[in-house]
Amino acid sequence: MVAMLALTLIFGIIQSALAIYAYNFVAYASRSAGRYATVHGANSSQPATSSSIQSYVQGLVVALDPTELAVSSSWSPDTSPGSTVTVTVTYEFKPFAPFAWSVNLPLKSTSTAVISN
């Protein structure tokens, strides 16, 4: 009886830690992709595009399901210096034990930065 309670508690702690890690990654990926886009503006030798930002974020993924990760980016008004870029990263966190936690947790972070190059 005590062992079952202890295992349930440990399992819940691990599940919560994975959810917190996923949220931390989404926030980190959003900020990093925003920085990547700011230094790869129109004057850069390799200007950032939506697909290059998506590839950049996909390269950062560790210990998460990359198929559940979505990246969107937009520029206002364009990619020239002084314009802004907004990067949004979303991740659908799915618990590895659906019987313990049956609701998926949508995680989202948005970063906006001014293009410098």
User: Could you report the per-residue pLDDT of 19-44, keeping only the tens digit for each?
Assistant: 999 999 999 999 999 999 999 999 99
Number of domains in the chain: 1
The per-residue pLDDT for 8 is 83
Mean of pLDDT over the chain: 93
The per-residue pLDDT for 1 is 87
Of the listed ranges 8-12, 35-39, 86-90, the one predicted with least confidence? 8-12
- DSSP track, 3-46: HHHHHHHHHHHHHHHHHHHHHHHHHHHHHHHHHHHHHSSTTSSS
Structural domain span for residue 86: 2-114
The per-residue pLDDT for 101 is 64
Say if residue 102's pLDDT is above 80.
no
